[in-house]
Amino acid sequence: MSFTGSAAAGHAVARAAAPTKTLLELGSNAALVVAADADLPAAADAVVRGGYYASGQACISVQRVLVEEPVREPFLALLAERVKAVEVGDPRLPETRVAPLIDPDATDRVLSWIAGESVLTGGVRDGRAIVPTVLTDVPDGSPAWAEEIFGPVVCVRAVPDLESAFTAVNASRYGLHAAVFTRSLATAFAAIERIEAGGVVVNDVPGFRADNMPYGGVKDSGAGREGPRFAAEELTVTRMAIIRP
């Protein structure tokens, strides 16, 4: 059994399918870490590219951004400038980046999740769509930080150092993909070792993937790996044969 969807639905499918083996690709609230030595314009471009495609309705869209404190202000300035330039409108037009969510209930839910949070830009309706939104300093208990928002919303939080950033990334029930922007190979390998996720991408969006790569998560983000070769391996039963002469 192979299922892609929310964590709650995936858990129900796995229980109902037992003892059949299940391959689950579930939700996430993908994190992107910006180190103090990062290429800040490239990191800001990545947050926009990775946070607002499909209007944020993707399980590996950028939702949580952890920025080292020394570069918080210049990074936010770059990000706000780029987010304000994102086109909102008809999804049939090639220039549109953000369009209405799947239904009005989804729009109402996302707006309710961001109500009362500190808004850097956006946070309001534009017709049936939500203006691309950046929130700052969202607390751990907020659904906009802790759950999968599945909308055009990115949360940015400053951290004192990289160890704090990795701890914050891992303090989630999800673990699909994460990213880190840095010029340091040591930081890149530290992220790969420390971050609890099915994939860690260095200097690109968490949504970077290709079918020849193993794709999947840990914790409530699922079990098993997709991609033709890896899905075939996941859904193949190994048999042993013994012949005594």
Q: Which of 25, 117, 148, 226 is catalytic?
A: 25
By the 8 A CB rule, do 215 and 204 touch? no
- How far, in Å, CA of 50 to CA of 203, rounded? 12
Catalytic member of 59, 68, 226, 234: 59
At residue 71, the 3 state secondary structure works out as helix
DSSP string spanning 77-121? HHHHHHHTT--BS-TTSTT--B---SSHHHHHHHHHHHTTSEEEE
- Active site (annotated) includes residue 59: yes
Q: Is 163 a catalytic site residue?
A: no
Q: How far apart are CA 231 and CA 9, in angstroms?
A: 20
Over the range 103-123, which residues count as b (16 or more CB within 10 Å of their CB) and which as e? Answer: eeebbeebbebbeebebbbbb
Give the separation between CA 199 and CA 227, rounded to whole angstroms.
13
**43 DSSP assignment:** H
Residues known to be catalytic: 25, 59
